[in-house]
Every structure is written in C-alpha cells, then in structure tokens.
Amino acid sequence: MIPEIREKFNREFKQEYYENLLGHIEDTYSEPSAFRISETPVFIDATLKKDVFSACDAIIEQLWQIDFRKIRDRFIPKELQSPLPMGNPDFLAIDFGLCDDGKGGITPQLIELQAFPTLFFYQPFLGKAFRKCYPNLPKEGLDYYFSGLNEESYVNEIKEVILGNEKPENVILLELFPEKQKTRIDFWATKKALGIEVVCMTKVIKEDKKLFYEKDGQKTPIHRIYNRVIFDELQRIENLDIAFNLHDELDVRWVTHPDWFFVISKCIMPLLKHRNIPASYYLSDYPKDLDLGNFVLKPLFSFAGQGVNLHPDKATIDKIEDKQNYILQQKVKYSPVVKTNTAKNSKVELRMLYVWNKEEGRLKPVINLTRMSKGEMINVSHQVDETWIGSSISFFED
C-alpha cells in the first residue's frame, strides 16, 4: 500500500529481527504470546487512511441515530439486562476488511463493530517493539497512534477511561480464568501500565450490592470494573461458581456497561448503510430471492469467528430455530494487499479502536489492531504452517 516502504522492508527483512521481536515480548511479560504474531506490520498510505477514517466517521454518525433502548429490548432478554444506567460506550472497535474495489484499488469494508474493549495496552507495546527490533522500519512519516497522541498521552487517555477518579487498588480487570485466555498478554500489559489487578470472576466476593477481592491478604472494595468477560463464554461454562453476574444490581461502575456488548455489535449491522458497509439482513427477515452464495451467515453474539458459516444454504438456514440471533452479511473479497517474502501474499483486517473522551464528549480514535491471514477467514487458528500472518499493527502515513 506504500510500495517503496514495503519493498524496502521485505528486501532488508531478516529472520533474526522477528526472533528478536518474539524474544522481547517473552522477556517483557515472562511468557510468549498465546496467539501468532506476524513477521511484519502493515503500512497504510494517506489515501486509504482518509477512506478508513471517512468510513468510521459515517458509521459513528449513524450510531447516534439508533434508538439503543429499542435495540436493547429487542436483543437482550429482560432478565439479562443490567439495571444500572448504560451511560456512553467507553470503547468502540470498528473492523474493516481491506478489499478489492473491482477497479484495481483497495476499499475498506465493514466486517463488524463492537462496543467492547480489546488489546489497548498490548498494541502500543507491539508498535514500539517493532520499532525497537526492526532497523529496516522508517524512523519518520508513519505512526500507529491517532488523534495526535504519543506514548505518554495515549496512556493518560486510556487511564482516564479505565480508572476515572478511582485509586488503582479499587479498580480491577475482570475476566474468566485470565491465565488461560489467548489475549492474556494484554492483561499483564494493562496491569503493568495502570497498577490494577487482574481478577478472575470466580474470585470476586459479593456482600449485598458491594463487591470485593483479595489483595495482599486484605479484602479490598471494588468500585470500578474494567470488564473483559465475554458474555457467550460466560454462558458456555456449566456450573460456574460465581458470586454475582454481569446483570446484577451492584454498587460498581462498569467500564464498559455490560449491555453495550449486545447493542453495538453485529445486531445493528442491518441498520447501517454506506458504501463501505456490505448489505446485511436479519435471518428472521431477509429477501427470499437473496442469492445465498453471495452471503455469509453469522451469529450475532459470538467472538473470534465462532459459528460463522461462509457457505450457507437454505437447508442450513431452515434448521436454525433462533433465527433472530443471526444475520446474513454480503461477502467481500479480501485483497492480498501485503506483499510477503513467501509464495502467497497476506490479507488484512484492520480494527480501528476508539475510546470515549468525556471532556470532548465523543468517541475518539486512539490506535489500531491489525490481523493478517492467507485463508478465507481472518482467523489464524488453523493456519499452523503459514508465515507472515497473525496479530500485527498498522503504521499509517502522516
């Protein structure tokens, strides 16, 4: 996408740079990453950058035209709705596939969006690690931070969202069995940056509406929860021994409120219209003359590609009883935009990350997360023999 930078990077690439990167990650967090890291960052030119931000702006503008109370009542059973005020979404991730525009160019096409946190502290570390371990990276003219942020101001921005005015000991990162999660490296990065504890949901103590956890042998009040528990995982585990649930009435401030997980997600995709948004339909109400060969079947509330059917047919659809929990989304053609030093080039999914800035009263772009693949889906779990794929970060042209 910036040919001269890509060609120079590939020409000067050495395997030892990549090995140094992996070693640096392991040295920093006392374990290797549980997910594959790509050999390369992605370089995005000013034209594509403009298109991506234009699409993001259009999507966010449409979000505020949606009646989220109606979405909430439609998609969240009453017994699972949290009684606490939703407030504003603290986070937003907008995922684009970098696709063939049919004219020899690249177009960002919306794959999904979610008001849920992700690797907010691992990503800046990864960007800095690439700069540290790869002498063939340009020193100027490219950045992975947005909104004029730098390393220090970025941390302050995210710290304000997660901690608010609370002391670190009264804020926790909540997860289910965090030491087993594939994204745990970000938990350790968050703890290191903010001084908050990573706490398993099974370890939280509930007394009336108040929550506590043990820190240094002391029962410590929880005032604020940076929630990383994914709801569908919580539902999948049978006989889970927990003292509270995400929809309980509690004296805590959620970051972000649990109901945002549902209401800004794939469930609103059919309501969004734009040249960078593929057509989507609720499975319970789609045109009967639709060519299913041009569509992907997706469950509304699953992560990491679980339950996605790339080749749905009418027989499959007819067997689905809870059709209200699925959408059909028009297929897009990912372009192998990243030239690699291998036989195949790599496809890219770009996740633009936003946080709520209270002072400015808006969702503010801060950084990106990038994933690379050579398969049909941007999911590297089964591409065990491939290289130049996996988790990465994009450097945008100034």
CATH at residue 200 = 3.40.50.11290
Please say which residue of 200, 220, 255 terminates a domain: 255
Q: Find out whether the peptide bond into 40 is cis, omega within 30 degrees of 0.
A: no
pLDDT at 307: 80
Residues facing residue 352 across a β-bridge: 94, 368
Within the chain, which residues score under 50 in pLDDT?
Answer: none
Residues 32 and 143 in one domain: yes
pLDDT at 274: 96
Strand order in the sheet with 253-255: 197-200, 171-175, 224-227, 253-255
Q: 288 Cβ partners below 8 Å, 6+ apart? A: none
Residues 79 and 192 in one domain: no
Residues 270 and 131 in one domain: yes
pLDDT at 304: 56
Residues 247 and 316 in one domain: no
Which of 174, 35, 43, 37 is CA-nearest to residue 106?
Answer: 43
Which of 224, 316, 264, 6 is CA-nearest to residue 112?
Answer: 264
Q: What confidence tens digit (pLDDT) does each residue in 189-211 have? A: 999 999 999 999 999 999 999 99
pLDDT at 324: 87
Residues 131 and 79 in one domain: yes
Q: Is 51 left (phi over 0), alpha (psi -120 to 50) or beta?
A: alpha
Residues 141 and 169 in one domain: no
Residues 248 and 285 in one domain: no
Residues 248 and 366 in one domain: no
Number of folded domains that form the chain: 3
pLDDT at 9: 97
pLDDT at 20: 98
pLDDT at 382: 52
Residues 173 and 135 in one domain: no
Cα distances (Å, whole numbers) of residue 354 to 56, 156, 225: 10, 14, 19
Enclosing domain of residue 137: 1-149+156-163+264-278+333-398
Distance CA 86, CA 89 (A): 8
User: CB 118: neighbour CB atoms within 10 A?
Assistant: 16
Residues 136 and 36 in one domain: yes
Distance CA 325, CA 167 (A): 40
